[in-house]
Amino acid sequence: MKRLIFNLFSFSTIIIFLISFIFFLPPTPRSKKSLLFSQIDKDSLLINTPSPRIILVGGSNLSFGINSQTIKDSLNLNPINTGVHASIGLIYMLDHTLDYIKAGDVVVVIPEYSQFFDNFAYGGEELLRTIFDVPSLKKTNKLRFQQIVNILPFLFKYIFTKVKKEEYVIGIPNKYYSRNSFNKYGDVYKHWNMPNEKVIPYNSINLNDQIDKDVVRALLNYQDTLLKRGARMYVSFPSIQESSYKNCESSILLIEKVLRENSFKILGTSERYKFNDSLIFNTPYHLTKNGVDYRTELLIEDFKSYQKSPKNRYDKN
């Protein structure tokens, strides 16, 4: 019996050691080419871009939906598009960018609508890979409890990815889902001359129609911290396919209602940022070049409008 227990213990120790060894292997060549590694470049922008600055915080609705050069030319602010991937989670986006905000910054938070429901804001597999693979000059790697709960189911998948042969075969990276897809401001631009694809609309964006109040609280806390640092924060709405908007309208309007009830500085309306399918590129949140230019002009117009009248002209209260 003692011999059996010893053998089991020895075997378990070896397995744990092997798993731990694999876990701490460096990112694979394929992983290093992914769009998640664009965070390194965006962090560099956050450190090195001079004031006055406008910092856009959100997921790929921003990276695939903004022409920062137009913002710079129109607002005379130096733009930083921090958008990477929605599944990193809004909570991480807020916590991470806080390290870089300084006095005088203008911060515009534009989350995907799913961030407000079903713990989506706490991230998933992309957050796990960002935390363990992507280096950052100021990242502390402190996660909230719900973030840890969200990423744990992907842990073994992440570990076994590191021993897959495909991860070490250097191929041609995806044209618009790689680190090299972004321009000097953080916008994805490699798809601007490509035709759009057929995009299936979202049927819903939540499971229980209950907004996560902790996400709203996180936005309020983020805003309070920015104000203490002498920065300004605005909230706006993501670009979204018109048919997806119609299918999810009740949930979207609920988000807008809650944001207005909490007195955020809001740019535009959710309805204003719905786009015809002809302007949608490859997901309900991603825009073609024509869509990017149109959405950017809307955001600039809404920003200028708010500056003229702090009472948002879209606020019905």
| Amino acid residing at 256 | E
Query: The domain containing residue 109 runs over which residues?
Result: 23-308
Report the C-alpha gap between 45 and 195 in whole angstroms: 30
With contact defined as beta carbons under 8 Å apart, do 292 and 66 qualify? yes
pLDDT score at 29? 85
Angle subtended by helix axes 289-308 and 68-75, to nearest 10: 30
Which residues have CB under 8 Å from 283's CB, separation 6+?
60, 64, 199
What is the domain-level CATH number for residue 207? 3.40.50
Buried-state track 212-227, b at ≥16 Cβ within 10 A, e below 16: beebbebbeebbeebe
Report the C-alpha gap between 26 and 76 in whole angstroms: 41
In a domain, 11, yes or no: no
Q: Strand, coil or helix: what is 110? A: strand
φ, ψ for residue 85, nearest 5 deg: -155, 130
| HSE toward the beta carbon, residue 85, CA cutoff 13 A | 21
Question: For each of the chain's 317 residues, which pLDDT tens digit applies?
Answer: 666 565 565 555 665 555 554 656 678 888 889 999 999 999 999 999 999 999 999 999 999 999 999 999 999 999 999 999 999 999 999 999 998 999 999 999 999 999 999 999 999 999 999 999 998 766 556 799 999 999 999 998 998 888 888 878 876 677 789 999 999 999 999 999 999 999 999 998 876 678 999 999 999 999 999 999 999 999 999 999 999 999 999 999 999 999 999 989 999 999 999 999 999 999 999 999 999 999 999 999 999 999 887 665 555 54
Report the C-alpha gap between 225 and 213 in whole angstroms: 18
In a domain, 8, yes or no: no
In whole angstroms, how far apart are CA 62 and each of 2, 110, 225, 299? 61, 8, 23, 11
With contact defined as beta carbons under 8 Å apart, do 84 and 39 qualify? yes
Partner residues linked to 78 by β-bridges:
53
In a domain, 2, yes or no: no
- The pTM of the whole model exceeds 0.75: yes
pLDDT score at 159? 87
pLDDT score at 2? 64
In a domain, 48, yes or no: yes
What's the total number of domains in the chain?
Answer: 1
Query: What does the DSSP 8-state code read for residue 57?
Result: E
| Amino acid residing at 172 | I
pLDDT score at 11? 55
Structure tokens at 50: 């001079």
In a domain, 90, yes or no: yes
Buried-state track 116-136, b at ≥16 Cβ within 10 A, e below 16: bbebbbbbbbbbbbbbbbbeb
In a domain, 29, yes or no: yes
In a domain, 313, yes or no: no
Structure tokens at 286: 């991603």
Residue of 126, 151, 167 whose CA lies nearest to 38: 126
In whole angstroms, how far apart are CA 97 and each of 109, 271, 316? 11, 28, 31
In a domain, 10, yes or no: no
CA dihedral (217, 221, 224, 228) in degrees, to 10, reads 180
pLDDT score at 317? 46
pLDDT score at 311? 62
pLDDT score at 19? 56
Report the C-alpha gap between 46 and 131 in whole angstroms: 18
